[in-house]
Every structure is written in C-alpha cells, then in structure tokens.
Amino acid sequence: MTACVLIVDAGLGNIGSVVAAYDRLGVRNFRIRKPPSDIACYTHLILPGVGSFSAGMDSLNSLGWSDWLKDVWLPTGRPLLGICLGMQLLASRGFEGSDSGNSIPGLDLISGKIVLMSPSQNLALPHVGWNSVYWSNTITPLSVDINSGCDFYFVHSYTFRCDDDSNCLATSNYGSQFSAVVSDISRNVWGMQFHPEKSQKLGKCLLQNFIALNPC
C-alpha cells in the first residue's frame, strides 16, 4: 500500500514545515483538523507541535484527538510519530503549564513524564540549536543509515523521562543527558524531541525511515 500520512493539525504549530518535508519527499499527506471517521487510506500518523504540555493536551482533548488516538488509531498497529511537543504529549504525565505544580495527564502512549531540563554549566533554556544524538544498542528501522553522534536541530526546555529505560532509543546532552528519541516499539509509537523536518539531509532520512515502518 502506498504511504499516506495523516498529520494532526491541532493548532499546535510546526505543521507547515512537516507538510513541506513530505511534499519534497513526494509522499501523500493530509493536514487533518478533526479526527476522521474513515482512516482506511492513512498508513502513518504524525503528531507535530510546539508550545507547552498543558496547552497541547487542552487542544487534543477539546478537538477529540486524545480518545481517537488511543481508541481508533492505536489498535490498528499503524505507525505513530510525535515530533517535539508531539513527542512529549505521548507521555503519561507532564508538569509544564501546571499552575498548581501538579502533573497533567498526557496521552500515556509511552510510560514516562515530562520535566524541566536541568542543564549544568550555566547553559540557558530553551535549548536551541544543533546537537549530537547517540543511539542506544537497540537497533530499530528508524535508525537505518543514521550513525550515532550525528547532529539534529532542537528547540525545547522540557524533556521526556521514561519510566522504563528501554523506551529511550537515543539520547543527547545539554549539560546533562536527555531523551532524544523514545518509543514503545510493541505499539508502533515513536517520538523525536528534535525537529527532523528542520534537520536537513539526516532529518529527511529519518522521515523516510518512518514511512518505511509497517503496522505491528
């Protein structure tokens, strides 16, 4: 089946660059504002986003995406990729944007929490710019043709802390180590903290590798 990407447009920004990246790859893609009732034509789903965890979850909940992703998309076993904030929203809970200091429920597609980065060496937040990404020993189809230590483009202040270290497929370092790529491989759920669509040739390779993933 020819790849066709559903790109979730929940008003979280960063949509145009993802659409443009897949247009350049010649891959069919559709920006979808509200959850579709018929998903037969879609082979892959991308949840992009920038901004705060609380605002992101508010948007997904109000538009009906949260339940749809868990109850409709996830059971199909088709690949799902979160980018930047989209990766963070895959977590069980997050603290960004909570006035009370209490955690905010996330999509809970990958067990973990979103916490403020704690860089040493007086490094400023947000973490903006190119940084090296180091793959774990877990070999996945996502990392095909991408060497450990290659640079990707980041913009973030919060990070995904996995409950199970095996869900962290790659790390980077900004004064301290943090998760760069996470996954629950058994559920075909993937997340990238960096922006592959802004990471030039290697980012293009990652987006192609995602499209090559099959349903689990």
In this predicted structure, what is the pLDDT of residue 139? 79
**Cα 149 to Cα 2: distance, rounded to the nearest angstrom:** 32
**Cα 179 to Cα 191: distance, rounded to the nearest angstrom:** 10
Q: Where are the alpha helices (DSSP H) in the chain?
A: 15-25, 53-63, 65-68, 85-88, 200-212
CA neighbor of 20 nearest in space, from 196, 212, 214: 196
Beta-strand ranges (E) seen in 77-201 are 80-83, 93-94, 104-105, 112-116, 127-135, 150-156, 158-162, 168-173, 177-184, 189-192
Q: How far apart are the first and last CA of the chain?
A: 15
**Cα 152 to Cα 46: distance, rounded to the nearest angstrom:** 18
Largest CA distance in the chain: 51
In this predicted structure, what is the pLDDT of residue 216? 82
Ordered per-residue pLDDT tens for the chain, 216 residues: 799 999 999 999 879 999 999 999 999 999 999 999 999 999 999 999 999 999 999 999 999 999 999 999 999 999 999 999 999 999 999 987 655 568 999 999 999 999 999 877 788 999 999 999 999 977 789 999 999 999 999 999 999 999 999 999 999 999 999 999 999 999 999 999 999 999 999 999 999 999 999 998
3-state secondary structure string, 25-47? HCCEEEEECCCCCCCCCCCEEEE
Q: What is the pTM for the complete model shown?
A: 0.95
Provide Rg for the chain, Cα atoms. Answer: 16
In this predicted structure, what is the pLDDT of residue 59? 97
Q: Domain extents for the chain?
A: 5-212
β-strands 189-192, 177-184: how paired?
A: antiparallel
Phi, psi of 128 (to 5 degrees): -125, 130
185 with 77: CB under 8 angstroms? no
The CATH number of domain 5-212, selected from 1.10.10.10, 3.40.50.10860, 3.40.50.880, 3.40.190.10: 3.40.50.880
Positions annotated as catalytic residues are: 84, 195, 197
